[in-house]
A and B are shown apart, each in its own frame.
Chain A
Amino acid sequence: MTVTVSTSKDTETKKSKQILSADTKENQQYVARLKHISFSYDGGKSWALQDLSLSIRSGEHLCILGANGSGKSTLGHILDGSTAPDLGRVELLGKVVCDSSKDEEHRVDPEAYRSARHNIGLVFQNPEDQIVTTVVRDDVAFGPENLGEPRPQIAQAVKDSLQQVDMLSQADHDPTRMSGGQQQRLAVAGNLAMHPTMIILDEPGAMLDSAGQRDMLDIMARLTLAGTSVIHITHRLEQARSADRVIVLDHGRIIAQGTPHAVLDGHQLPGLGMINTDISVSQQQLPASLANSEKSLQSELLQARGGQNTPTDMLGHVISLKDVAYQFPDSQDHALNHISLSIDAGETVAILGRNGSGKSTLCRVIAALLTPTNGSVSVTGIPIAIPNSKTPKKTRRRNLHLLRQRVGYVMQYPEHQLFADTVFLDVSYGPRNMGLTPEQVNHRVNEALELLGISDVANRSPFNLSGGQKRLVAIAGVLACKPQLLILDEVTASLDPQTSERIINMLEELHSQGVTIIMNTHADQEALRLADTAVLLDQGELSAQGPVEEVLKHYHSLLNSAAHRNTSPDSQSFPDQPLAQEALEDAPSQVTKNHSQRNSSAPLLLQELDPRAKMVTFVLAMVTAFCISKPLQLCLGLLVTAALFAAARFPIRRILTSTRIFLILIVLTSLLNLFITRTGNVLVDVGPLLLTDDGLWIAILYSCRFLIIILLGALLVETTTPTQITDALESLIKPLQCFGIHTNEIALVMSLALRFIPTLSQETHAIIEAQAARGGSIETGSLVQRLRAAVAIAVPVFASALRHADNLSMALDARCYEGGRNRSHYRLLSFNRQDYIFIGLMVLYVLSLIVLSVY
């Protein structure tokens, strides 16, 4: 180990590593040893872990299996060193970190914990919440920076760990626009860069589609090969196959352990059904078609019964889509294209497809939450989109109101929409918006709670329930509106088997009552059990339609080819989120190409400037633009702005389109200025219209001032990455440290905030939509109704922010963020000659403005 640069922190880390390695020689074979540990969340009333002992050998791939509430995540937190047990002895990486036989003061050894955590990696379920910046390589560098490693070492670690997860070619991409699977691989890379001895993965595939899950299994296998100890926590039996050893937890105790073969085969494990087996079910394992045809026969009978209640169009379809296309406003690609589909009353239809294939968009179009850009849509007999015709606003509003009463929409992770103080109040939100009487509302709510088997929690706060119960409450909130058509977006995603089963039973019950059901799903078993027919979406188009088994076969061949693509270095899978749709058009390879093209052509002055020089001078130029008052000054200002655009070689048109709202505002205010100015020579005088040359000049002056300000601001933002902006901010506010202000931390807060805006934006829109689907609207209704709608949106939005904050703080801990003081920097800001020249020129410009105003 060569020490090149060594800060005090650096040597400290090194020393602790050396001590560690000496220690591990003695206990070579174990990365973790737990002896008789017990853990309680409620001060001993109940035990999440009871008298548990476990030793994990170095280099072992251990899988911890357990149902929700079995204590497996708690065990994970004890192993990752983020929490200490109440009783027992914990030894991590050869060091005793916690021993309850010692007196209370010495029970926990914070220093030992800290140094152990530097060598323990953690990857958890939410892919997005583990990303801290908007550039892949910066994200990987975050951990080594926190450890205060010198720059060359960080650069090497970034390269090596990206290579290990096959993402080196995407080093400059924006991870917030990647698929969940890629984000999880990046999270692994972020941990690898800190050279962990052991990595803990807590349900890493829970929020991924099948291809993403395969990816994670593949990465884990590679880590084991490279000698890292891997601890995989999951409730999916089939994912345990590749482990060296499996332990099964139940009620905080280990109830079985051994090789995957010995543990998994032929045993009934508590709370771990084989329901979510979408990976292991291959085409051969699909149930016999006999069972299925019997089922469809049954559903035909039911259809005949229930179909009469649901309004349909003239051809008897509940839903009919003709050549529907949808394009997100900020994207050039179609999220949906050429979709024609008819669904009969009482039918259950499964929509299959990979993440990002347009499934969610299709659901939102059918629920009338999105208006298609092309094609016609009619749902429950109500036309919600007719091509080339504009429905009057009033008719449209009435249609929507009618539709909301007939169509229920359960968004992805519907528990995110919960807001009220009690379950009962939350579920009653929809029926109350429909204007039902209190008795009717009560009846509806009780019925819905009963259907989902959660009547016993009616008076509890929805936020105090378990994850599964929250999901059931949110679904009850939709069912209480008694929809004739129910649309569900991944309703069992990351749920435990028991709750999934309960939801499936509920859907079977609704189906028998004649409700038409449309469901997005990844799970084969779910589609096979529930659906009469299935459709497969691929890149926004219908690629198959028909009997569920047939469509599943197509789906699996699609997944297989995707998995092949994923294992190649330049893989690109499709992101799920609408905001990320743009990423489809900027395929990574293209971005890289653009990048290299840029580099090969003449240097782009503005992009290469130090961001501090740019930010300060631009803001100065923007502020002084307000002082422009003479024609010569204005000419100079416009000239300098044009010169800056030329230096950036940035197409001005792109900025004009991105700032068009401001531009419209400019035009309006300049018109105002034009007509309220009454001084000067009269040019036009027609009736009340009086136009003077002064007015004309004022209008031109004010609009040009704003144009300069807006163009400069936009140019600055376009030519500077968010990372550069926050780096510059950190450096610029550094002098404030003298006043006791934590400038590093503030800069980190700002950079994390910028990174999370798209995430929160997406969730906010989803919440607004979900509440709109339950009839809540801020724009219409009485003042009380509007306020209620505002609360129903605001509370879940804050809840979502707090949820992300929780996960993010876990991610910051996993990457060993220990305050800004001892951090090193992967990127260095340095002023060179061109920065000084640029600052000189800009100062000259400002001085000229001042001189011109005097003369």
Chain B
Amino acid sequence: MSMPSSDENKELYSNNTASHQSNSHSTGASRTGRWSTQRIAIYAMFVALTILVSFFSFPIFQMAPFLTYDPSGIVVLVAGFAFGPAAAVIVSVLGFLPHIFSDPFGAMISIVVALALSVPSAYIYQKIRTRKGALLGISVGAVAALIVAIGCNIIITPFYAHLSMQAVLHMIVPILLPFNVIKFTIHGVVTFLIYKPVSNLVNRSH
């Protein structure tokens, strides 16, 4: 978890032009904290949303009904696009932390995969703020997440099922790869369709 840079701060505030918090009307009083109350509130809502939708899980790949899809990846991607890599880190970590009480290893994997997905994409989109940049960011994030997800699966599956590492390696091509490709494709396509309307909302209200 890294401390948000001051650049991040600027970016969040630069979105503030429309609201009553804009510079000419600012009372300066709410800036005393290290994070603005707005930043805290936004992080909290995105974390809540990640936790919430991570429970909306369903199988998408008939070969492996035990692997389920949930839309939480979309939330972390959008958080990173709208509020930068620091938000992506916070939302990825806190959003999957509660799962530690039901599935400790699963929670850790989810955190690592979410970080791999959202941080590179948020970083790229921060540098290239165009549709192409978004597409590039999503693609790089998806590939990174795909590699990390399969790597983690290889390590963790033997804990869950009585399978040797060898047996898990044999599952990569027929099961793990297609499942994760489908999963990150859905994440990517939906994010690509909604990031613009959502960023407009962010710019409008903050």
Contact = CB atoms under 8 A, between A and B. Distances in A.
Interface of A: 39, 41, 43, 74, 77, 81-86, 97-98, 108, 110, 113-114, 117, 419, 421, 461, 463-464, 618-619, 622-623, 626, 659, 662, 665, 668-669, 672-673, 676-677, 698, 702, 709-710, 713-714, 716-717, 736, 739-742, 745-746, 748-750, 752-754, 756-757, 760-761, 764, 787, 790-791, 794-795, 797-799, 801-806, 808-809, 812-813, 817-821
Contact of B40 (A77, A748, A760): A748
Interface residues of B, number: 65
A802 B202 contact: yes
A108 B26 contact: yes
A753 B44 contact: yes
B190 A749 contact: no
A709 B103 contact: yes
Contact of A812 (B25, B40, B90): B40
Interface in B14-62: 18, 20-21, 24-38, 40-49, 51-53
Contacts of B200: 461, 463
Contacts of B21: 83
Nearest to A622: B104
Contacts, number: 216
Contacts of A84: 24-27
A464 B204 contact: yes
B194 interface: yes
5 contacts: A669-B66, A745-B33, A752-B48, A797-B49, A805-B42
B35 A819 contact: yes
B38 A749 contact: no
A842 to B, nearest CB: 15
Given A709-B104, A817-B33, A819-B34, A804 B45 contact: yes
Contacts of A745: 33-35, 40
Top-6 shortest CB links A-B: A819-B33, A110-B28, A752-B44, A753-B47, A809-B41, A812-B37
A794 B74 contact: yes
Interface in B139-177: 159-163
Nearest to A710: B102
A764 B52 contact: yes
Contacts of A808: 37, 41, 44-45
Label chain A's interface by main secondary structure: helix
A623 B101 contact: no
A757 B104 contact: no
A553 B49 CA distance: 43
A813 B40 CA distance: 11
A421 B21 CA distance: 26
B189 interface: yes
A741 B37 contact: no
B48 A754 contact: yes
Interface string B67-87: 000010010001000000000
Given A750-B47, A764-B52, A795-B198, A741 B3 contact: yes
B197 A419 contact: yes
Given A113-B27, A745-B35, A757 B52 contact: yes
Nearest to B19: A806
Given A753-B44, A757-B48, A802-B42, A791 B25 contact: no
Contact of A809 (B40, B46, B94): B40
Given A713-B101, A713-B102, A746-B90, A805 B27 contact: no
Contacts of B13: none
B40 to A, nearest CB: 6
A698 B42 CA distance: 46
B34 A794 contact: no
A754 B97 CA distance: 11
Contact of A626 (B44, B66, B159): B159
A745 B101 CA distance: 22
Contacts of A736: 1
B182 interface: no
Given A39-B25, A794-B74, A812-B37, A82 B30 contact: yes
Nearest to B68: A665
Nearest to A791: B193
A262 to B, nearest CB: 32
Given A753-B44, A757-B52, A802-B45, A86 B24 contact: yes
A799 B78 CA distance: 12
Contact of A805 (B41, B162, B204): B41
Contacts of A791: 190, 193-194
Given A84-B27, A85-B25, A819-B35, A662 B189 contact: no
A39 B101 CA distance: 51
Contacts of A753: 43-45, 47-48, 51, 94
B45 A97 contact: no
A716 B45 contact: no
Given A110-B29, A791-B194, A662 B102 contact: yes
Contacts of A110: 27-29, 31
Contacts of A117: 27, 29
A54 B161 CA distance: 73
Contact of A819 (B32, B52, B66, B194): B32
Given A113-B27, A748-B40, 17 more contacts: A82-B27, A113-B28, A117-B29, A619-B104, A672-B161, A698-B162, A702-B160, A752-B44, A757-B52, A760-B48, A787-B193, A795-B194, A799-B201, A804-B41, A818-B30, A819-B32, A820-B33
Contacts of A626: 105, 159
Contacts of A749: 40, 43-44, 47, 90, 94
Nearest to A115: B29
Contacts of A752: 40-41, 44, 48
Contacts of A806: 38, 41, 205-206
Nearest to B25: A83
A190 B181 CA distance: 49
B7 to A, nearest CB: 15
B100 interface: yes
A820 B35 CA distance: 9
B143 to A, nearest CB: 22
Contact of A82 (B20, B34, B103, B201): B20
A461 B196 CA distance: 13
Contacts of A702: 160-162
Contacts of A756: 44-45, 48
A464 B37 CA distance: 24
A673 B79 CA distance: 39
Contact of A81 (B18, B29, B35): B29
B174 to A, nearest CB: 15
A794 B206 CA distance: 20
Contact of A746 (B42, B49, B94): B94
A798 B40 contact: no
Nearest to A43: B24
Contacts of B190: 787, 790-791, 794
Contacts of B45: 753, 756, 760, 801-802, 804-805, 808
A669 B33 contact: no
The listed residue with most A CB atoms (<10 A of its CB), out of B25, B29, B37, B197, is B29
